[in-house]
Each structure stands twice: as structure tokens, then as C-alpha cells.
Amino acid sequence: MHVYCTVFVLQTVSWFAEAAESDIVGGKVAKPHSKPYMASLQIQGAHWCGGILIREDFVLTAAHCKIDHQPMTVVLGAHDITKKEKSQQHIQVAQFHPHPNFVGEYSYDIMLLKLKHTAKLNRYVKVIELPKKNGKIPANIRCTVAGWGQTAKQSSTSPVLKETTEKIQFSFECKFIWKQYFRSDHMTCTRPDKWGGVCQGDSGGPLICNTKPEGITAFTEKDNCSNPKNPHVFIRIHPFLPWIKEVMKGNVVA
């Protein structure tokens, strides 16, 4: 089995095109602006990763979404990212804060983005509250994932936000499949109910369980992300709350 991060191997231009080829596979179009915390992270005007707004000036995403020497723009309040919707706010990233233990592979794949100016909160752009309790989500609970990008079976883009549900798996199941790549201390995994779910291009987007963001989309199987036999992996947010708070206090240098 080949492990493939949803947006990984960041140095090659050819890979950039591949990374934008899929979205929430087999899902449905989300109700416009029903997820006002969602962020589209864009490079050179193209959607690259997802993220969530956790403070007016900070977005939480996956660490592997950062590309060296490439400026990034965060688009908030969007439904159709190919249109200039009046609800949209485009804000450049001022600082990248990947977790200090992230070394370009799978563990500690979480990052904070400091925005150049604060977002204007309104009906289209809202902050989502992070989980306060370390309550591990029980297996078989259904959670929601969302993202933008191209579809897996079509060459045309899916410009609007899509969503679907996935079921939390037991940690031992995740470990059995992913071996050394899975760390139960800060990861969880899911399976789609049937076919589909997160895929390339959805990195950094949230895993929402009981209205709370419990995880950040990390990796899935290369070339076969919709295979229900192989669970999708998410970085759990709660173990990183102390680090997140320190970064947002300004105590961590970018």
C-alpha cells in the first residue's frame, strides 16, 4: 500500500496540478454559506488546501499545505470560489506557523496561518470554536467533512463547497492499516459510509463531529482515496491546543 498525503510532495510543479484534481468524492453540494468558518487557501489564484477560521486573524490547516517561497491567500466567505462573490474576503498570509515537530512527513501535520489583517465577521464569515475537552470521539460516530477542488472522475472542477459524512474508526483499525504512519496520540481515522470522502485537494479541511472541529484532513491512500477499505487520516486538534494558544498569543516565532 502506498501512503499519500492529500497535498504532499510540495516541491514539484507537476505535482501541484495533481494535488488539485479531487475534492469531496461522492458528496453533495453544501448549502451556500452554511459553513462560514471554511477557508480556501489559494496559491496564484488556484485553490490548494482547506482550512478553518479559529480567530479573526488565524486559520488552522495542515502543515504540508505550505510551499516554500510561495505566497498564499486565504479566501473566506466563499461558496463558489470561481466567482467574485460579494461575501468573499481575500486576505494574504503574513506568517506560517507549522508545528515545530513537523518534518515534512505525516506526524504533527498541523499549521496556523497568521493573516495580514483581521477578517470582518458577519453572516458569511464566522469563527469556529475549538474543542475544549479531550473527549476522544467514539468509533462509529458519523462526522462531516467538507472541501473544494476537482472531482475524481471528471476533469471539470467542482467550484462550490461540497460535504459528506464519514464514520470514526477504532484506533487499532487505523494502526493495522497504516502501520507506522498512524499515531493514535494525535491522529484519528474515518471511513466513508459507502464510496467517496476526502481526497487530494481537501488537506487542511475540518472533521466536524457534533458541531465541533475534531480533526484536520491529513492523508489517504494514493490514487485510491475513495476506497472504503482504507481509512482516511486526520490530525486531532485537541492535543495541540496548548501550542495553538501560545502561537496566537504571539509567544512562538514564525
Cα separation, 79 vs 29, in Å, equals: 10
Amino acid at the residue 218: A
Q: Let me know if 185 is a catalytic residue.
A: no
Q: Which of 207, 199, 210 is nearest to 7 (CA)?
A: 199
Beta-strand (E) ranges in 19-173?
A: 28-29, 38-43, 46-55, 58-61, 73-76, 89-98, 111-115, 142-150, 157-168
Of 40, 79, 109, 238, catalytic: 109
- Are the beta carbons of 145 and 208 closer than 8 angstroms? yes
Q: Residue 109 catalytic?
A: yes
Active-site option among 22, 40, 47, 64: 64
64 catalytic per annotation = yes
CB-based burial label for 126 (10 Å; 0-12, 13-18, 19+): middle
Among 50, 33, 28, 27, residue whose Cα is nearest residue 147: 50
Residues recorded for the chain: 254
Active-site residue, selected from the candidate residues 203, 226, 232, 238: 203
Amino acid making up residue 47: H
Catalytic site positions: 64, 109, 203
